[in-house]
Amino acid sequence: MKLKTKYLGLELNSPIVLSSSGLSSTLQGLKDAERAGAGAVVLKSIFEEQIMNETALVDSYSDYPEAADYVRAYVRENSLGLYLKLIEDAKQQCSIPIIASINCREVGEWVDYARVIETAGADALELNIFLLPTDKETSSDEIERHYLNIITRVKNAIRIPLAVKLGAGFTNPLAIVRELYYRNVKGAVLFNRFYPTDIDIERMTVRAGEIFSHRAELSNVLRWTALVNGALPLIDVAVSTGVHTGADAVKAMLAGASAVEVASVVYEQGMGIIGEMNAFIVDWMRRHDFRTPADFIGRLNARNIPNPLLYERTQFMKYYSSYK
């Protein structure tokens, strides 16, 4: 009985993947994840916005254009250089797939980063597009075209497999994932968690909310994983929010996930939780006579269950009112 599976065309020894986070920002963190049993790692994202902010700090050189250009170039190359070094070192010292990650919101020079990331040896790229619609004049069609423009530019720049991490706020996630598939994107990661906000009612200030995910968030991800995998089985799905136990991972795979990305639970319980999740999956497979994850991934997606409307029910009060 083995946990070997495929995601983005890559061979994984386990479907559990360490998600992009501070945990995957160092070579030691990557080694620890591999020892704990992770099937792959997604490196901490290189942030377009962060690099742009850093280069904007050179405005003090405005009276010296050549100096400003030099400093901007240095900031970009230094940030990228450190990232490329991490990829190169990881490929030399780790045997599991190394998936690079770019977090962006616009099309720009950073698209070239994808090319050099590929050259450095990354096995795949996860593109995390961070865009919060705050302009009331911008239609949903415009926003979706913006996303697809970025995705197309990146896909045309690289040959390694590309996965796109999506937010949960699209009007029709199935239509977006279909457009990804048409562009030869290999995977969709569901879902991106935006920076959480909260309000302190005593100080009457806005503050950061809880940064870690909760198991309750898995429900919505399971719904869309099952719907996407049922409608578009040729594109891989990775679940990225709300998985905290081995049982959660099994649920995600039954819904159609080829991989399960974890970070919050690793922060809370340590790398050892990855091994515990693997052990649970193996035990569950043994009890249900499955030899490999491929035997049950998607078994309960929206196409394979007798009543797919179970994933489409939205009238909560109708069912809640009958609960005793």
Is this model's pTM higher than 0.85 or not? yes
Higher pLDDT: 64 or 267? It is: 267
Worst-scoring range by mean pLDDT, 59-73, 203-217, 262-276? 59-73
User: Which residues pair with residue 130 across a beta bridge?
Assistant: none
At residue 240, does pLDDT exceed 70? yes
Worst-scoring range by mean pLDDT, 113-122, 235-244, 306-315? 306-315
- 299 phi and psi, to 5 degrees? -55, -30
**Angle of CA points 13, 17, 23, to nearest 5°:** 130
Confidence of residue 75 (pLDDT cuts 50, 70, 90): very low
Cis status, amide bond into 130, omega within 30 of 0? no
Contact between 243 and 185 (Cβ < 8 Å):
no
Enumerate residues 6+ apart whose C-beta is below 8 A from 37: 13, 14, 16, 274, 275, 278
Contact between 238 and 7 (Cβ < 8 Å):
yes
Beta strands in the chain (DSSP E): 5-7, 10-12, 16-18, 40-42, 46-47, 98-104, 124-129, 162-166, 187-190, 197-200, 205-208, 236-239, 259-262
> Whose CA is closest to 190, among 217, 152, 153, 154?
217
- Percentage with pLDDT > 90 across the chain: 68
What does the pLDDT look like over 124-146, one tens digit per residue?
999 998 777 888 998 989 999 99
Confidence of residue 95 (pLDDT cuts 50, 70, 90): very high
> Whose CA is closest to 41, among 82, 105, 87, 84?
87
Worst-scoring range by mean pLDDT, 8-12, 43-47, 236-240? 43-47
